[in-house]
Amino acid sequence: MRINTLILGAGAAGMMCARHAGGSTLVIDHAKAPGEKIRISGGGRCNFTNMYAEAKNYLSANPHFCKSALARYTQWDFIELVDRHGIAWHEKTLGQLFCDGSSKQIIAMLVEEMREAGADLWLHTSVEAVAQTADGYTVRLLREGKAQTVTCRNLVLATGGKSIPKMGATGLAYDLARQFGLEVTETRAGLVPFTFPDGRFQPLAGVSLPSRLSNARTSFDEALLFTHRGLSGPSVLQLSSYWREGEEIT
């Protein structure tokens, strides 16, 4: 089978890429359904964008990449797409937009968009090997237990990171990047709660309050949530991306 573009990963990035790539595009994923991380996001209602999204809100070794990406496709473009599909939404706090109904509406929208663009979707499909050729790539796949070979001009890695292994997250993209000589930045946890093995906050589990959390580089004014394992909530999750082990947080 020969196609123009093969996209590894049927998450938000993979499906949006397929929507723009159009015909002769195949999206594959080893999961049983597309958009599994979308499904659980925002407590099942999908916090699909933020009205105040700007390049400065993103961590990157190349800040100009975010500026270019957000200039080409803004949050307002995505809101227009959501409205066009008749999905009701609301603003929670600080510009955070959530579906009134379910995150499954966003998944259905993305699947419909990429299929209307002419892209195909294969689920229960895993990557066995990837080889570069003179005019593209040859990819050996295992689809529902049967071997398949796909040749393509463009190969897109949209498999995500290692954040939720129990949902099928793997290091496949990192391995493929290294295979083709691309530099891989050392990974660490981000957008995560702070946990304490002694359970010191268990009596307060479920309590939420406004907070300002800071380290040496930045601060966030958002809600803090006590859990049975430690500290969570928007302020903690945001600051975790800027925190280094051993740093003091105030």
Per-residue pLDDT at 126: 95
Surface-to-core class of residue 239, CB atoms within 10 Å of its CB (0-12 exposed, 13-18 middle, 19+ buried): buried
What is the set of domains in the chain, with CATH numbers?
A: 2-46+102-179 (3.50.50.60), 194-240 (2.40.30.10)
Q: What is the pLDDT of residue 166?
A: 74
List, for residues 115-142, the tens digit of each pLDDT value.
Answer: 999 999 999 999 999 999 999 999 999 9
Exposure b/e, 198-212, CB count within 10 A at least 16 = b: eeebeeeeeeeeebe
The confidence band for 203, taking pLDDT boundaries of 50, 70 and 90, is very high
Is the pLDDT score of 241 beyond 80? yes
β-pairing verdict for 125-133 and 47-50: unpaired
Please check the confidence at residue 62 and state whether its pLDDT lies above 80: yes
Dihedral in degrees, nearest 10, Cα atoms 154, 57, 91, 43: 70
Nearest to 160 by CA among 15, 4, 6: 15
Report how far apart, in Å, the C-alpha atoms of 170 and of each of 9, 38, 127 are: 11, 17, 12
Query: CA dist 118 to 105, 108, 114, 159, Å?
Result: 20, 16, 7, 21
Q: What is the mean pLDDT of residues 5-20?
A: 97
Residue 169 has pLDDT above 90, yes or no: no
* Angstrom distance (rounded) from CA 239 to CA 237: 6
Is residue 189's pLDDT more than 90?
Answer: no
